[in-house]
Structure 1
Amino acid sequence: MSDRLDDLERRIDELRAGVRKAMRARDGATARVLRAELRTAERAWDALVSGEQPRARPEQPRLVTVREQVHQGLRLLGATAQPRLVVAVSEAFFGGTIRSNQLTSLRRDEERSFRSAPHGRPYYLCAALTDRLSPARGLLALSAWPLDRRVVGPLSPRVDFLTCAIAVARQKSEDERAARLLVRMARNIPGATDRTLGPPDPDRVIEAARAELAVHADRDTRDRAELAQRAATQLDDVARLFGAATLSTIKKEYIS
Protein backbone atom coordinates (compact mmCIF):
# COMPACT_ATOMS: atom_id res chain seq x y z
CA MET A 1 0.00 0.00 0.00
CA SER A 2 2.84 2.38 0.86
CA ASP A 3 4.44 2.02 -2.58
CA ARG A 4 1.10 2.61 -4.27
CA LEU A 5 0.51 5.74 -2.18
CA ASP A 6 3.97 7.03 -3.03
CA ASP A 7 3.35 6.47 -6.74
CA LEU A 8 0.00 8.24 -6.58
CA GLU A 9 1.42 11.18 -4.64
CA ARG A 10 4.23 11.60 -7.16
CA ARG A 11 1.72 11.42 -10.01
CA ILE A 12 -0.53 14.00 -8.31
CA ASP A 13 2.42 16.36 -7.86
CA GLU A 14 3.38 15.92 -11.54
CA LEU A 15 -0.17 16.58 -12.69
CA ARG A 16 -0.52 19.69 -10.54
CA ALA A 17 2.74 21.03 -11.95
CA GLY A 18 1.54 20.22 -15.45
CA VAL A 19 -1.74 22.08 -14.89
CA ARG A 20 0.13 25.15 -13.64
CA LYS A 21 2.47 25.04 -16.64
CA ALA A 22 -0.41 24.70 -19.09
CA MET A 23 -2.28 27.58 -17.46
CA ARG A 24 0.81 29.82 -17.64
CA ALA A 25 1.08 28.95 -21.33
CA ARG A 26 -2.66 29.64 -21.75
CA ASP A 27 -3.07 26.12 -23.10
CA GLY A 28 -6.62 25.47 -21.99
CA ALA A 29 -6.96 22.16 -23.84
CA THR A 30 -3.98 20.58 -22.10
CA ALA A 31 -5.02 22.04 -18.74
CA ARG A 32 -8.48 20.44 -19.02
CA VAL A 33 -7.03 17.02 -19.84
CA LEU A 34 -4.52 17.20 -16.97
CA ARG A 35 -7.14 18.41 -14.49
CA ALA A 36 -9.35 15.44 -15.37
CA GLU A 37 -6.40 13.07 -14.80
CA LEU A 38 -5.63 14.88 -11.55
CA ARG A 39 -9.17 14.37 -10.25
CA THR A 40 -8.97 10.67 -11.08
CA ALA A 41 -5.62 10.31 -9.29
CA GLU A 42 -6.91 12.17 -6.23
CA ARG A 43 -9.98 9.94 -6.03
CA ALA A 44 -7.75 6.87 -6.23
CA TRP A 45 -5.56 8.31 -3.42
CA ASP A 46 -8.62 8.96 -1.23
CA ALA A 47 -9.94 5.45 -1.83
CA LEU A 48 -6.58 3.88 -1.00
CA VAL A 49 -6.17 5.85 2.23
CA SER A 50 -9.70 5.06 3.38
CA GLY A 51 -9.43 1.42 2.39
CA GLU A 52 -12.35 1.71 -0.02
CA GLN A 53 -12.43 0.38 -3.54
CA PRO A 54 -13.36 2.94 -6.21
CA ARG A 55 -16.90 2.21 -7.32
CA ALA A 56 -17.80 2.02 -10.94
CA ARG A 57 -20.58 4.38 -11.92
CA PRO A 58 -22.24 2.97 -15.01
CA GLU A 59 -24.80 5.75 -14.92
CA GLN A 60 -21.97 8.25 -15.34
CA PRO A 61 -19.73 6.98 -18.17
CA ARG A 62 -16.40 8.68 -18.71
CA LEU A 63 -16.73 11.79 -20.80
CA VAL A 64 -15.00 11.34 -24.12
CA THR A 65 -13.59 14.68 -25.19
CA VAL A 66 -13.89 16.13 -28.69
CA ARG A 67 -10.19 15.49 -29.12
CA GLU A 68 -10.58 11.81 -28.24
CA GLN A 69 -13.56 11.42 -30.55
CA VAL A 70 -11.61 12.88 -33.47
CA HIS A 71 -8.72 10.56 -32.64
CA GLN A 72 -11.07 7.55 -32.68
CA GLY A 73 -12.47 8.56 -36.05
CA LEU A 74 -9.08 9.10 -37.68
CA ARG A 75 -7.72 5.83 -36.32
CA LEU A 76 -10.63 3.94 -37.82
CA LEU A 77 -10.25 5.66 -41.19
CA GLY A 78 -6.48 5.24 -41.33
CA ALA A 79 -5.95 8.14 -43.74
CA THR A 80 -6.21 11.91 -43.91
CA ALA A 81 -9.82 13.02 -43.87
CA GLN A 82 -12.04 16.08 -43.86
CA PRO A 83 -13.72 17.07 -40.60
CA ARG A 84 -17.22 16.19 -41.82
CA LEU A 85 -16.13 12.61 -42.57
CA VAL A 86 -14.49 12.29 -39.16
CA VAL A 87 -17.70 13.56 -37.54
CA ALA A 88 -19.81 11.09 -39.53
CA VAL A 89 -17.56 8.16 -38.56
CA SER A 90 -17.60 9.21 -34.92
CA GLU A 91 -21.39 9.30 -34.91
CA ALA A 92 -21.85 6.06 -36.82
CA PHE A 93 -19.40 3.83 -34.97
CA PHE A 94 -18.63 5.45 -31.61
CA GLY A 95 -21.85 7.27 -30.71
CA GLY A 96 -19.96 10.53 -31.11
CA THR A 97 -21.47 13.90 -30.31
CA ILE A 98 -19.03 16.23 -32.02
CA ARG A 99 -19.96 18.84 -34.62
CA SER A 100 -17.83 20.07 -37.49
CA ASN A 101 -17.63 23.60 -36.11
CA GLN A 102 -16.01 22.25 -32.93
CA LEU A 103 -13.02 21.17 -34.99
CA THR A 104 -12.31 24.67 -36.29
CA SER A 105 -9.92 25.66 -33.53
CA LEU A 106 -8.85 22.17 -32.51
CA ARG A 107 -5.76 22.01 -34.72
CA ARG A 108 -4.60 25.41 -33.46
CA ASP A 109 -5.04 24.20 -29.88
CA GLU A 110 -2.97 21.13 -30.70
CA GLU A 111 -0.19 23.26 -32.18
CA ARG A 112 -0.12 25.54 -29.14
CA SER A 113 0.07 22.50 -26.90
CA PHE A 114 2.95 21.03 -28.89
CA ARG A 115 4.87 24.30 -28.86
CA SER A 116 4.47 24.68 -25.09
CA ALA A 117 5.44 21.06 -24.32
CA PRO A 118 6.86 19.27 -27.39
CA HIS A 119 5.97 15.58 -27.56
CA GLY A 120 4.20 15.85 -24.22
CA ARG A 121 1.20 13.90 -25.47
CA PRO A 122 0.96 10.40 -26.94
CA TYR A 123 -0.52 11.85 -30.12
CA TYR A 124 -1.52 15.15 -31.72
CA LEU A 125 -4.29 15.97 -34.16
CA CYS A 126 -2.36 17.66 -36.92
CA ALA A 127 -2.57 18.87 -40.49
CA ALA A 128 -1.95 16.99 -43.68
CA LEU A 129 0.87 18.68 -45.62
CA THR A 130 0.60 19.86 -49.23
CA ASP A 131 3.30 19.72 -51.92
CA ARG A 132 4.40 23.13 -50.61
CA LEU A 133 4.74 21.56 -47.15
CA SER A 134 2.07 23.93 -45.90
CA PRO A 135 -1.01 22.73 -43.98
CA ALA A 136 -3.66 21.28 -46.29
CA ARG A 137 -6.93 23.12 -45.87
CA GLY A 138 -9.56 20.98 -44.17
CA LEU A 139 -7.56 17.74 -43.95
CA LEU A 140 -6.80 16.18 -40.58
CA ALA A 141 -4.13 13.62 -39.73
CA LEU A 142 -2.56 11.96 -36.71
CA SER A 143 0.96 12.70 -35.56
CA ALA A 144 1.56 8.98 -34.93
CA TRP A 145 1.32 8.29 -38.66
CA PRO A 146 4.56 8.31 -40.66
CA LEU A 147 5.22 11.36 -42.80
CA ASP A 148 4.36 9.62 -46.05
CA ARG A 149 0.80 9.14 -44.76
CA ARG A 150 0.48 12.75 -43.66
CA VAL A 151 1.63 14.42 -46.89
CA VAL A 152 -0.73 14.70 -49.84
CA GLY A 153 0.21 14.74 -53.51
CA PRO A 154 -2.04 15.24 -56.54
CA LEU A 155 -3.66 11.80 -56.27
CA SER A 156 -3.67 11.54 -52.48
CA PRO A 157 -7.16 12.94 -51.79
CA ARG A 158 -8.68 10.25 -54.00
CA VAL A 159 -6.43 7.52 -52.63
CA ASP A 160 -7.28 8.50 -49.06
CA PHE A 161 -10.99 8.63 -49.83
CA LEU A 162 -10.83 5.07 -51.20
CA THR A 163 -8.81 3.96 -48.17
CA CYS A 164 -11.42 5.48 -45.89
CA ALA A 165 -14.24 3.83 -47.81
CA ILE A 166 -12.62 0.43 -47.35
CA ALA A 167 -12.22 1.08 -43.63
CA VAL A 168 -15.89 2.06 -43.28
CA ALA A 169 -17.07 -0.95 -45.30
CA ARG A 170 -15.14 -3.30 -43.03
CA GLN A 171 -16.98 -2.16 -39.91
CA LYS A 172 -19.85 -4.24 -38.58
CA SER A 173 -22.64 -1.99 -37.35
CA GLU A 174 -26.42 -2.06 -37.17
CA ASP A 175 -26.57 1.71 -36.77
CA GLU A 176 -28.53 3.37 -39.57
CA ARG A 177 -25.97 6.18 -39.64
CA ALA A 178 -23.26 3.68 -40.58
CA ALA A 179 -25.41 2.40 -43.45
CA ARG A 180 -26.10 5.94 -44.70
CA LEU A 181 -22.41 6.79 -44.56
CA LEU A 182 -21.49 3.73 -46.61
CA VAL A 183 -24.19 4.62 -49.16
CA ARG A 184 -22.78 8.12 -49.59
CA MET A 185 -19.24 6.88 -50.01
CA ALA A 186 -20.19 4.04 -52.37
CA ARG A 187 -21.94 6.47 -54.72
CA ASN A 188 -18.54 8.02 -55.43
CA ILE A 189 -16.83 4.74 -56.33
CA PRO A 190 -17.47 3.24 -59.78
CA GLY A 191 -18.87 -0.27 -59.52
CA ALA A 192 -19.47 -0.10 -55.77
CA THR A 193 -23.26 -0.24 -56.06
CA ASP A 194 -25.74 -2.22 -58.13
CA ARG A 195 -27.86 0.94 -58.63
CA THR A 196 -30.69 -0.36 -56.47
CA LEU A 197 -32.22 1.57 -53.60
CA GLY A 198 -30.93 -0.85 -50.99
CA PRO A 199 -27.70 -0.48 -49.03
CA PRO A 200 -24.55 -1.46 -50.92
CA ASP A 201 -22.84 -4.75 -50.24
CA PRO A 202 -19.73 -3.94 -48.13
CA ASP A 203 -17.66 -6.59 -49.93
CA ARG A 204 -18.58 -5.05 -53.26
CA VAL A 205 -17.57 -1.59 -52.01
CA ILE A 206 -14.22 -2.93 -50.84
CA GLU A 207 -13.60 -4.72 -54.13
CA ALA A 208 -14.45 -1.63 -56.20
CA ALA A 209 -12.33 0.65 -54.03
CA ARG A 210 -9.35 -1.70 -54.22
CA ALA A 211 -9.67 -1.91 -57.99
CA GLU A 212 -9.41 1.86 -58.33
CA LEU A 213 -6.65 2.04 -55.72
CA ALA A 214 -4.58 -0.32 -57.85
CA VAL A 215 -4.64 2.27 -60.62
CA HIS A 216 -3.38 5.15 -58.46
CA ALA A 217 -1.34 3.52 -55.71
CA ASP A 218 2.12 3.34 -57.31
CA ARG A 219 2.15 6.95 -58.51
CA ASP A 220 0.73 8.23 -55.23
CA THR A 221 3.26 6.24 -53.21
CA ARG A 222 6.14 7.77 -55.21
CA ASP A 223 4.76 11.29 -54.87
CA ARG A 224 4.27 10.92 -51.14
CA ALA A 225 7.71 9.41 -50.59
CA GLU A 226 9.28 12.42 -52.32
CA LEU A 227 7.22 14.88 -50.29
CA ALA A 228 7.97 13.04 -47.07
CA GLN A 229 11.70 13.21 -47.79
CA ARG A 230 11.47 16.95 -48.39
CA ALA A 231 9.47 17.46 -45.22
CA ALA A 232 11.94 15.41 -43.16
CA THR A 233 14.93 17.42 -44.36
CA GLN A 234 13.43 20.92 -44.62
CA LEU A 235 11.03 21.21 -41.68
CA ASP A 236 11.47 21.36 -37.94
CA ASP A 237 9.42 19.28 -35.51
CA VAL A 238 6.55 21.77 -35.33
CA ALA A 239 6.27 22.24 -39.09
CA ARG A 240 6.39 18.50 -39.74
CA LEU A 241 3.14 18.21 -37.79
CA PHE A 242 1.38 21.48 -38.51
CA GLY A 243 2.91 22.68 -41.77
CA ALA A 244 5.30 25.42 -42.82
CA ALA A 245 4.04 28.98 -42.78
CA THR A 246 3.05 30.30 -46.19
CA LEU A 247 3.66 33.84 -47.39
CA SER A 248 0.00 34.73 -46.80
CA THR A 249 0.19 33.39 -43.26
CA ILE A 250 3.31 35.40 -42.50
CA LYS A 251 1.73 38.55 -43.97
CA LYS A 252 -1.44 38.05 -41.89
CA GLU A 253 0.56 37.58 -38.70
CA TYR A 254 2.69 40.61 -39.49
CA ILE A 255 -0.35 42.83 -40.05
CA SER A 256 -2.10 41.64 -36.90
Structure 2
Amino acid sequence: MQGLLEELEKRMQQLLRAMTQARLQGDDTQVAALSEDLKRTQAYWASLALPDTEATQTQPTAAPAAASRPAAAARPARSALPLREQVCQALTLLTVPTAPKVLSQVHEAFFAQPLNTARLTSLRRDEERSYRASSTNRTYYICPALTCDLLAPARALLALSNWPLEQRLVGPITHRVHFLTAALRIADAAEQRTDDDMASGPLRRLLEHYSGNIPGYPVTPGHVNLEALRAAAKDELAVHVQDDANTRAEAAERARTKLDDADQIFGHTLHDANRARRTA
Protein backbone atom coordinates (compact mmCIF):
# COMPACT_ATOMS: atom_id res chain seq x y z
CA MET A 1 0.00 0.00 0.00
CA GLN A 2 2.92 2.36 0.66
CA GLY A 3 3.71 2.50 -3.05
CA LEU A 4 0.14 3.42 -3.93
CA LEU A 5 0.12 6.19 -1.30
CA GLU A 6 3.34 7.59 -2.74
CA GLU A 7 1.87 7.59 -6.25
CA LEU A 8 -1.18 9.47 -5.01
CA GLU A 9 1.03 12.01 -3.21
CA LYS A 10 2.98 12.61 -6.42
CA ARG A 11 -0.30 13.04 -8.27
CA MET A 12 -1.46 15.67 -5.75
CA GLN A 13 1.78 17.60 -6.17
CA GLN A 14 1.40 17.53 -9.96
CA LEU A 15 -2.16 18.81 -9.70
CA LEU A 16 -1.12 21.65 -7.38
CA ARG A 17 1.60 22.74 -9.81
CA ALA A 18 -0.84 22.56 -12.72
CA MET A 19 -3.38 24.65 -10.80
CA THR A 20 -0.76 27.31 -10.11
CA GLN A 21 0.14 27.45 -13.79
CA ALA A 22 -3.51 27.64 -14.83
CA ARG A 23 -4.13 30.49 -12.39
CA LEU A 24 -1.16 32.44 -13.78
CA GLN A 25 -2.61 31.97 -17.26
CA GLY A 26 -6.06 33.10 -16.11
CA ASP A 27 -7.69 29.81 -17.14
CA ASP A 28 -10.49 29.57 -14.57
CA THR A 29 -12.11 26.57 -16.26
CA GLN A 30 -8.89 24.56 -16.02
CA VAL A 31 -8.38 25.64 -12.40
CA ALA A 32 -11.86 24.40 -11.49
CA ALA A 33 -11.35 21.04 -13.22
CA LEU A 34 -7.97 20.51 -11.59
CA SER A 35 -9.39 21.49 -8.20
CA GLU A 36 -12.08 18.80 -8.45
CA ASP A 37 -9.47 16.25 -9.50
CA LEU A 38 -7.32 17.24 -6.51
CA LYS A 39 -10.23 16.85 -4.09
CA ARG A 40 -11.00 13.35 -5.35
CA THR A 41 -7.36 12.31 -5.16
CA GLN A 42 -7.01 13.72 -1.63
CA ALA A 43 -10.12 11.86 -0.56
CA TYR A 44 -8.84 8.57 -1.93
CA TRP A 45 -5.48 9.11 -0.21
CA ALA A 46 -7.36 9.70 3.07
CA SER A 47 -9.39 6.52 2.59
CA LEU A 48 -6.15 4.53 2.49
CA ALA A 49 -3.98 6.44 4.95
CA LEU A 50 -6.46 7.30 7.70
CA PRO A 51 -8.53 5.07 9.98
CA ASP A 52 -11.86 4.00 8.53
CA THR A 53 -13.81 6.44 10.68
CA GLU A 54 -11.78 9.43 9.50
CA ALA A 55 -11.66 8.32 5.87
CA THR A 56 -15.42 7.93 5.81
CA GLN A 57 -15.86 11.52 6.95
CA THR A 58 -13.52 12.91 4.29
CA GLN A 59 -14.23 10.72 1.27
CA PRO A 60 -16.65 12.08 -1.39
CA THR A 61 -18.66 9.82 -3.63
CA ALA A 62 -16.69 10.61 -6.79
CA ALA A 63 -13.61 8.57 -7.71
CA PRO A 64 -10.26 10.34 -8.20
CA ALA A 65 -8.91 10.73 -11.71
CA ALA A 66 -5.57 9.00 -11.08
CA ALA A 67 -6.72 6.10 -8.89
CA SER A 68 -9.86 5.03 -7.08
CA ARG A 69 -11.11 2.27 -4.80
CA PRO A 70 -14.91 2.11 -5.11
CA ALA A 71 -16.91 0.91 -2.13
CA ALA A 72 -17.73 -2.77 -2.40
CA ALA A 73 -21.33 -2.26 -1.34
CA ALA A 74 -22.14 0.38 -3.94
CA ARG A 75 -20.18 -0.06 -7.13
CA PRO A 76 -21.53 2.13 -9.91
CA ALA A 77 -22.73 0.40 -13.03
CA ARG A 78 -20.99 2.97 -15.24
CA SER A 79 -18.09 5.30 -14.56
CA ALA A 80 -18.66 9.04 -14.97
CA LEU A 81 -15.00 9.57 -15.81
CA PRO A 82 -13.78 10.05 -19.39
CA LEU A 83 -11.96 7.09 -20.94
CA ARG A 84 -8.53 8.77 -20.66
CA GLU A 85 -8.99 9.17 -16.89
CA GLN A 86 -10.13 5.57 -16.55
CA VAL A 87 -6.94 4.51 -18.34
CA CYS A 88 -4.96 6.77 -16.02
CA GLN A 89 -6.57 5.09 -13.00
CA ALA A 90 -5.46 1.64 -14.11
CA LEU A 91 -1.96 2.75 -15.16
CA THR A 92 -1.43 4.62 -11.89
CA LEU A 93 -2.29 1.47 -9.96
CA LEU A 94 0.08 -0.68 -12.04
CA THR A 95 2.93 1.85 -12.57
CA VAL A 96 4.15 0.03 -15.71
CA PRO A 97 3.24 0.21 -19.42
CA THR A 98 0.38 -2.19 -20.00
CA ALA A 99 -1.64 -3.71 -22.83
CA PRO A 100 -5.24 -2.54 -23.30
CA LYS A 101 -6.73 -5.96 -22.45
CA VAL A 102 -4.95 -6.07 -19.09
CA LEU A 103 -5.83 -2.44 -18.36
CA SER A 104 -9.46 -3.32 -18.95
CA GLN A 105 -9.24 -6.31 -16.59
CA VAL A 106 -7.58 -4.21 -13.89
CA HIS A 107 -10.13 -1.44 -14.25
CA GLU A 108 -12.97 -3.93 -13.99
CA ALA A 109 -11.44 -5.56 -10.91
CA PHE A 110 -10.70 -2.35 -8.99
CA PHE A 111 -12.82 0.40 -10.55
CA ALA A 112 -16.15 -1.29 -11.26
CA GLN A 113 -16.17 -1.75 -15.05
CA PRO A 114 -13.99 -2.84 -18.00
CA LEU A 115 -12.57 -0.27 -20.39
CA ASN A 116 -13.85 0.29 -23.89
CA THR A 117 -10.69 -1.10 -25.51
CA ALA A 118 -12.04 -0.45 -29.03
CA ARG A 119 -11.59 3.28 -28.41
CA LEU A 120 -8.04 3.13 -27.05
CA THR A 121 -6.27 3.35 -30.43
CA SER A 122 -8.11 6.53 -31.36
CA LEU A 123 -7.60 7.88 -27.83
CA ARG A 124 -3.83 7.44 -28.12
CA ARG A 125 -3.83 9.25 -31.47
CA ASP A 126 -5.97 12.07 -30.06
CA GLU A 127 -3.56 12.43 -27.15
CA GLU A 128 -0.59 12.84 -29.49
CA ARG A 129 -2.43 15.38 -31.64
CA SER A 130 -3.38 17.34 -28.53
CA TYR A 131 0.19 17.32 -27.22
CA ARG A 132 1.71 18.45 -30.49
CA ALA A 133 -0.88 21.23 -30.77
CA SER A 134 -0.29 22.54 -27.23
CA SER A 135 1.97 20.53 -24.94
CA THR A 136 1.18 22.50 -21.74
CA ASN A 137 -2.58 22.01 -21.51
CA ARG A 138 -2.68 18.75 -19.54
CA THR A 139 -0.91 17.31 -16.53
CA TYR A 140 -0.47 13.98 -18.34
CA TYR A 141 -1.06 12.31 -21.71
CA ILE A 142 -1.82 8.71 -22.58
CA CYS A 143 1.15 7.64 -24.70
CA PRO A 144 2.80 4.47 -25.99
CA ALA A 145 5.72 2.76 -24.33
CA LEU A 146 8.90 3.05 -26.39
CA THR A 147 11.20 0.26 -27.54
CA CYS A 148 14.78 0.40 -26.32
CA ASP A 149 16.29 -0.51 -29.69
CA LEU A 150 14.45 1.79 -32.11
CA LEU A 151 12.98 4.31 -29.64
CA ALA A 152 9.73 3.72 -31.53
CA PRO A 153 6.22 3.14 -30.15
CA ALA A 154 5.91 -0.33 -28.66
CA ARG A 155 2.97 -2.26 -30.00
CA ALA A 156 -0.13 -2.22 -27.77
CA LEU A 157 1.52 -0.89 -24.61
CA LEU A 158 0.16 2.28 -23.01
CA ALA A 159 1.90 4.51 -20.48
CA LEU A 160 1.59 7.97 -18.90
CA SER A 161 3.66 10.86 -20.21
CA ASN A 162 4.49 12.14 -16.71
CA TRP A 163 6.35 8.92 -15.87
CA PRO A 164 10.16 9.13 -16.15
CA LEU A 165 11.46 8.16 -19.59
CA GLU A 166 13.14 5.03 -18.17
CA GLN A 167 9.75 3.88 -16.87
CA ARG A 168 8.22 4.14 -20.35
CA LEU A 169 10.90 2.15 -22.18
CA VAL A 170 10.76 -1.60 -22.86
CA GLY A 171 13.72 -3.88 -23.56
CA PRO A 172 14.14 -7.62 -24.15
CA ILE A 173 13.22 -8.67 -20.59
CA THR A 174 11.11 -5.66 -19.59
CA HIS A 175 7.84 -7.44 -20.28
CA ARG A 176 8.66 -9.99 -17.58
CA VAL A 177 9.78 -7.29 -15.17
CA HIS A 178 6.54 -5.43 -15.82
CA PHE A 179 4.49 -8.58 -15.27
CA LEU A 180 6.12 -9.16 -11.88
CA THR A 181 5.85 -5.50 -10.90
CA ALA A 182 2.17 -5.48 -11.82
CA ALA A 183 1.65 -8.63 -9.74
CA LEU A 184 3.09 -6.84 -6.69
CA ARG A 185 0.95 -3.75 -7.26
CA ILE A 186 -2.21 -5.81 -7.73
CA ALA A 187 -1.48 -7.81 -4.58
CA ASP A 188 -1.03 -4.56 -2.61
CA ALA A 189 -4.28 -3.12 -3.97
CA ALA A 190 -6.17 -6.39 -3.40
CA GLU A 191 -5.11 -6.38 0.24
CA GLN A 192 -7.25 -3.29 0.77
CA ARG A 193 -10.39 -4.98 -0.53
CA THR A 194 -13.04 -6.87 1.40
CA ASP A 195 -13.43 -10.66 1.35
CA ASP A 196 -16.46 -10.21 -0.90
CA ASP A 197 -14.36 -8.25 -3.38
CA MET A 198 -11.65 -10.90 -3.29
CA ALA A 199 -14.24 -13.53 -4.12
CA SER A 200 -15.67 -11.53 -7.02
CA GLY A 201 -15.12 -12.82 -10.53
CA PRO A 202 -12.96 -9.99 -12.02
CA LEU A 203 -10.55 -9.63 -9.11
CA ARG A 204 -10.27 -13.37 -8.48
CA ARG A 205 -9.53 -14.05 -12.16
CA LEU A 206 -6.91 -11.30 -12.22
CA LEU A 207 -5.14 -12.64 -9.15
CA GLU A 208 -5.28 -16.21 -10.44
CA HIS A 209 -3.78 -15.12 -13.76
CA TYR A 210 -0.79 -13.46 -12.12
CA SER A 211 -0.23 -16.03 -9.38
CA GLY A 212 -0.51 -18.93 -11.83
CA ASN A 213 2.30 -17.55 -14.01
CA ILE A 214 5.01 -17.00 -11.39
CA PRO A 215 7.36 -19.93 -10.58
CA GLY A 216 7.57 -20.70 -6.89
CA TYR A 217 4.02 -19.66 -6.08
CA PRO A 218 2.14 -22.53 -4.35
CA VAL A 219 -1.04 -22.69 -6.41
CA THR A 220 -4.14 -23.57 -4.42
CA PRO A 221 -7.33 -23.85 -6.52
CA GLY A 222 -9.93 -21.30 -5.45
CA HIS A 223 -7.58 -19.35 -3.17
CA VAL A 224 -4.85 -16.74 -3.66
CA ASN A 225 -2.30 -16.20 -0.92
CA LEU A 226 -1.24 -12.56 -1.31
CA GLU A 227 1.86 -12.89 0.83
CA ALA A 228 3.05 -15.91 -1.14
CA LEU A 229 2.31 -14.08 -4.39
CA ARG A 230 4.44 -11.13 -3.28
CA ALA A 231 7.29 -13.38 -2.15
CA ALA A 232 7.38 -15.35 -5.42
CA ALA A 233 7.18 -12.17 -7.54
CA LYS A 234 9.97 -10.47 -5.56
CA ASP A 235 12.22 -13.53 -5.84
CA GLU A 236 11.99 -13.67 -9.63
CA LEU A 237 12.09 -9.88 -9.98
CA ALA A 238 15.44 -9.78 -8.18
CA VAL A 239 16.91 -11.96 -10.94
CA HIS A 240 15.97 -9.62 -13.79
CA VAL A 241 15.54 -6.11 -12.45
CA GLN A 242 19.14 -4.82 -12.57
CA ASP A 243 19.90 -5.98 -16.12
CA ASP A 244 16.60 -4.54 -17.29
CA ALA A 245 17.22 -1.24 -15.50
CA ASN A 246 20.66 -0.94 -17.14
CA THR A 247 19.20 -1.54 -20.60
CA ARG A 248 16.48 1.05 -20.11
CA ALA A 249 18.86 3.62 -18.63
CA GLU A 250 21.13 3.34 -21.67
CA ALA A 251 18.16 3.68 -24.03
CA ALA A 252 16.85 6.69 -22.12
CA GLU A 253 20.22 8.42 -22.51
CA ARG A 254 20.11 7.83 -26.27
CA ALA A 255 16.53 9.08 -26.45
CA ARG A 256 17.34 12.31 -24.61
CA THR A 257 20.22 12.92 -27.01
CA LYS A 258 18.47 12.07 -30.27
CA LEU A 259 14.77 12.84 -29.79
CA ASP A 260 12.86 16.05 -29.23
CA ASP A 261 10.36 16.37 -26.38
CA ALA A 262 7.40 15.09 -28.39
CA ASP A 263 9.25 12.05 -29.73
CA GLN A 264 10.51 11.21 -26.23
CA ILE A 265 6.84 10.80 -25.29
CA PHE A 266 5.26 9.38 -28.43
CA GLY A 267 8.31 7.87 -30.13
CA HIS A 268 9.47 8.21 -33.72
CA THR A 269 8.90 5.93 -36.67
CA LEU A 270 11.21 4.70 -39.43
CA HIS A 271 9.15 6.81 -41.83
CA ASP A 272 9.98 9.92 -39.82
CA ALA A 273 13.67 8.99 -39.66
CA ASN A 274 13.89 8.41 -43.42
CA ARG A 275 12.13 11.70 -44.08
CA ALA A 276 14.57 13.51 -41.79
CA ARG A 277 17.57 12.00 -43.66
CA ARG A 278 16.13 13.07 -47.03
CA THR A 279 15.54 16.57 -45.75
CA ALA A 280 19.10 16.78 -44.42
What is the TM-score normalised by the length of structure 2?
0.67
Distance 2:253 2:274 in 1: 24
Instruction: Flag structure 1 segments of 5+ consecutive residues without an equivalent.
Output: 1-6, 16-33, 41-55, 252-256
- How many angstroms does 1:119 deviate by? 2.6
Distance 1:97 1:151 in 2: 26
Q: What residue number does 1:185 align with?
A: 210
The amino acid of 1:184's aligned partner reads H
SS at match of 1:163: helix
Distance 1:195 1:204 in 2: 10
Q: Quick one: structure 1 residues 62 and 170, their matched pair in 2 at CA, closer, same or farther if it must change by over 3 Å? A: closer
Q: What residue number does 2:47 align with?
A: none
Q: What residue number does 1:100 align with?
A: 117
Distance 1:132 1:57 in 2: 44
Q: How does 1:144-155 map to 2 (within 5 A)?
A: 144-155=162-173
Q: What residue number does 2:99 align with?
A: 82
Distance 1:184 1:95 in 2: 19
Q: Is the 8 A contact 2:93 2:185 kept in 1?
A: yes
The amino acid of 1:127's aligned partner reads P
Q: Is the 8 A contact 1:69 1:96 kept in 2?
A: no
Radius of gyration: which is bigger?
A: 1
Distance 2:27 2:237 in 1: 47
SS at match of 2:156: strand
RMSD: 2.9
Residues paired across the two proteins, number: 205
- CA deviation profile, 1:18-44 (whole Å, cap 9, x unmatched): xxxxxxxxxxxxxxxx9x95xx9xxxx
- How many angstroms does 1:220 deviate by? 0.4
SS at match of 1:81: coil
Q: What residue number does 1:198 align with?
A: 222
Instruction: Flag structure 2 segments of 5+ consecutive residues without an equivalent.
Output: 1-22, 37-59, 63-75, 276-280
Distance 1:169 1:120 in 2: 34
Q: Is the 8 A contact 1:183 1:200 kept in 2?
A: yes
The amino acid of 2:104's aligned partner reads V
Distance 1:112 1:96 in 2: 28
SS at match of 2:224: coil
Distance 2:134 2:272 in 1: 27
The amino acid of 1:141's aligned partner reads A
SS at match of 2:93: helix
Distance 1:244 1:188 in 2: 33
Q: Quick one: structure 1 residues 153 and 114, their matched pair in 2 at CA, closer, same or farther if it must change by over 3 Å? A: same
Q: What residue number does 1:156 align with?
A: 174
Distance 2:96 2:186 in 1: 12
Q: How does 1:1-256 map to 2 (within 5 A)?
A: 11=27, 63-130=80-147, 131-172=149-190, 173=193, 174=197, 175-192=200-217, 194-247=218-271
Distance 1:237 1:69 in 2: 25
Q: Is the 8 A contact 1:72 1:90 kept in 2?
A: yes
- How many angstroms does 1:11 deviate by? 4.1
Question: Once structures 1 and 2 are overlaid, which stretch shifts more, 95-104 or 149-158?
Answer: 95-104
Q: Is the 8 A contact 2:103 2:115 kept in 1?
A: no
Q: Quick one: structure 1 residues 250 and 200, their matched pair in 2 at CA, closer, same or farther if it must change by over 3 Å? A: farther
Q: Is the 8 A contact 1:169 1:202 kept in 2?
A: yes
Q: Is the 8 A contact 2:105 2:114 kept in 1?
A: no
Distance 1:187 1:198 in 2: 12
Q: Is the 8 A contact 2:94 2:181 kept in 1?
A: yes
Percent of aligned pairs with the same amino acid: 43
Distance 1:226 1:118 in 2: 26
